[in-house]
Amino acid sequence: AGVFTYDPGFTSTAACDSTITFIDGDKGVLLHRGYPIEQLASKSHYLEVCYLLLYGELPAPKALEDFEHLVTNHTMLHEQMMYFFRGFRRDAHPMAVMVGVVGAMSAFYHDSTDITDEHQREVASIRLIAKMPTIAAMAYKYTIGQPFVYPRNDLDYASNFLRMCFAVPAEEYEVNPILSRAMDRIFTLHADHEQNASTSTVRLASSSGANPFACIAAGIACLWGPAHGGANQACLEMLKEIGTPDRIPEFIARAKDKNDPFRLMGFGHRVYKNHDPRATVMKESADEVLELLGVENNPILQVAKELEKAALEDPYFAEKKLFPNVDFYSGIILEAMGFPTSMFTPIFALARTVGWISQWKEQISDPQLKIGRPRQLYLGEDARDYVDIENR
Ligand code: CMC
């Protein structure tokens, strides 16, 4: 009984209220706690944005220093957790490893799984934000057969991650400050994005009272899909497949063909119908990084730019309001930094962890919290009598 709204894909259903992130999709506006993403990407840095998302205000200098210190001191993973990595096939996708290892954190960090205890919630939040780069880097090292590189507490968040991915024991490794800044900006641009599929997954999982590590593992699993976070990997693979600008018309034609399942990866968004402000910053960053690295004539960047231009000039994309999204340019920067495509989505996951955690904290602090339990439109058989096996 009762009247339900039928809304597959939740195109018009608000499932919660929130004070964290605001998006105006028609105007291309993205605000975290009121601050525009463009300002945060150019003036702030990732850990400061983490603080802002988690606690609602920009930190005073001492508060920021304490927060950075706290996060830095939790970057190490329990040594026993290495056995989890070793249980995976060596060619496992790092996202598969991350889903497993983050889920397994609830088997290690028992002292931060009681969600009714405010202190434990805080510890779980810090642990997840601090350990995610270590887990992502170890997943990478494992799949390429290199020894794990442990975090170094004198480095900032982004530099530490780059070092854990690219340093080789017994060899010198200097973090390039240009790459570190670009990495930090990529983290910042992915930090939160209100009720997207993975965040909604985290909220739904947590509505049953599940522990934070289990909820974040669910978010990572959801992010993996090519329509969501997996689009960055799919986009760069598409750009490589196109290869040269003369093949662009063929791929545009395929994207428009209703009988062909192919879509232009890195294009389109459920909410942004004008432009994705993150993509604008990401494009500038790609230009900057490639120039500083002396690879501005990168053929993939040329294909990306010409593909963007061709799509924007095409009436199909204009009518359907399809614009490049955050995933269109991020892969180009990540590839120039030396990451394989399989690491693109893990990087998205580690950066989005703070958004998931902030939304999780907001939700479980709500005294009105109800378990998430959508209804359905049943289209199956009417009631009928069981048929004994000899009569079928
Ligand atoms: N290429 C070609 N046609 C497209 C594309 C595309 N990338 N995106 C949407 N369309 C068409 C689609 O075929 C549909 O046409 P019609 O109305 O004739 O059936 C119309 O545009 C609306 O698309 P939709 O699938 O109903 O829109 P949605 O809001 O459900 O999906 C989306 C949004 C992001 C999943 C989709 O645009 C897409 O699949 N894009 C490619 C994957 C991608 O880049 N994802 C990253 C999203 S941003 C970062 C993140 O969330 O992680």
Which residue from 200, 333, 372, 207 is spatially nearest to 270, judged by alpha carbons? 200
Q: Comparing 23-226+342-364 with 231-337, is the CATH topology the same?
A: no
CA dihedral 119, 153, 68, 148 (to 10 degrees): -70
What is the CA(371)–ligand 1 centre distance, in A? 30
Supply the pLDDT for residue 4. Answer: 87
- Ligand 1 centre from 306 Cα, in Å? 20
* Ligand 1 atom 44 nearest Cα: 266
Where do the structural domains in the chain lie, given as residue ranges? Answer: 23-226+342-364, 231-337
The count of residues in the chain is 392
pLDDT at 297: 79
Residue type, 46: Y
Rounded to two decimals, the pTM is 0.95
Architecture of domain 23-226+342-364: Orthogonal Bundle (1.10)
User: Is 233 close to ligand 1, i.e. is its CB under 6 Å away?
Assistant: no
Q: Give the Cα separation of 256 and 243 in Å (integer).
A: 19
- ipTM of this complex prediction, to 2 decimal places: 0.96
Task: Name residue 351's amino acid.
Answer: A
Q: Which of 93, 184, 269, 276 is catalytic?
A: 269
In the prediction, which pLDDT does 210 show?
A: 96
Q: Where do runs of H (alpha helix) occur along 224-264? A: 231-242, 248-256
**Is the Cβ atom of 265 under 6 angstroms away from ligand 1?**
yes
Amino acid at 2: G
The gap between the terminal CA atoms of the chain, to the nearest Å, is 34
Predicted pLDDT of residue 17 = 95
Which pLDDT score is estimated for 214?
A: 97
C-alpha closest to that of 95 among 235, 231, 230, 266: 230
* Ligand 1 proximity of 30 Cβ (cutoff 6 Å): no
Question: Is residue 269 among the annotated active site residues?
Answer: yes
**CA 18 to CA 63: how far, in whole Å?**
24
pLDDT tens per residue, the chain (392 residues)?
578 899 999 999 999 999 999 999 999 999 999 999 999 999 999 999 999 999 999 999 999 999 999 999 999 999 999 899 999 999 999 999 999 999 999 999 999 999 999 999 999 999 999 999 999 999 999 999 999 999 999 999 999 999 999 999 888 899 999 899 999 999 999 999 999 999 999 999 999 999 999 999 999 999 999 999 999 999 999 999 999 999 999 999 999 999 999 999 999 999 999 899 999 999 999 888 888 888 877 888 889 989 999 999 999 999 999 999 999 999 999 998 999 999 999 999 999 999 999 999 999 999 889 999 999 999 999 999 999 999 99
Partnered with residue 24 across adjacent β-strands are: 29
Three-state SS at 127: helix
Confirm or reject: Cβ of 266 under 6 Å from ligand 1: yes
Please give the CATH number for the structural domain made up of 231-337: 1.10.230.10
What per-residue confidence (pLDDT) applies to 1? Answer: 54
